[in-house]
Structure 1
């Protein structure tokens, strides 16, 4: 099993949900988060802002800002990972910075609380 965590633009959430549901993935979590990528922030200007120089803060402007995003999390069988990742990419790719990131991590086990089922049975 794998955990897929995807961070996408807020305005792409409905498109992403629809694409995943059409693929057959109905069970996932969505969170409102804030974040940013590396971007094009001048580290000297950022250091000046941290030291309290108002001019540096004005120059930095919006570039140091955290942007609203959505984070999707799903635990899926290994056999479904590639299709889900490709679906998320297709629903979110604009070719511009900020399209998002996808992380795939191993999951050792999962347990359904209601029944005590373990492993892939618990996520089916």
Structure 2
């Protein structure tokens, strides 16, 4: 089993939900998040702003801003990972900064509380 966590644009959520359903995903979680990518901000500038240097804060302007995102999390069997990742990329890729990230991690075990099923049975 693998956990797929995708950070996506707010305005792509409806398309993302549809793409996940079409890729055979039965259930997933989504929650609000705020963040930013590396963008055009240097680490020196961020460090200066963190230390309270007004010049650094002014230079950051909009570049240091946190943007609203959605984090979608799904756990799928190993054989479904590539289909889900491809579906997420296809629907969220605009070619512009801020398209998001996808992280895939191993899930050694899962249990369904209601039925006590475990392993792949718990997520299908």
Question: 1:10 Cα shift?
Answer: 0.6
Q: Give secondary structure in 1 for the equivalent of 2:3.
A: strand
After superposition, where does 1:56-95 map in structure 2 within 5 Å?
A: 56-95=56-95
In the other structure, the counterpart of 2:39 is 39
Partner of 2:27: 27
SS of match in other structure, 1:74: strand
Uncovered stretches (5+) of structure 2, i.e. residues with no partner = none
Distance 1:39 1:61 in 2: 13
Partner of 1:106: 106
1:56: Cα distance to partner? 2.4
Give CA deviations for 1:16-56 in whole Å, capped at 9, x if unaligned: 11111122213000010111111111333333323323232
Give the aligned length: 124
What's the Cα RMSD here? Answer: 1.2
1:19 aligns to what SS in structure 2? Answer: helix
What is aligned with 1:96?
Answer: 96
Partner secondary structure for residue 46 of structure 2: helix
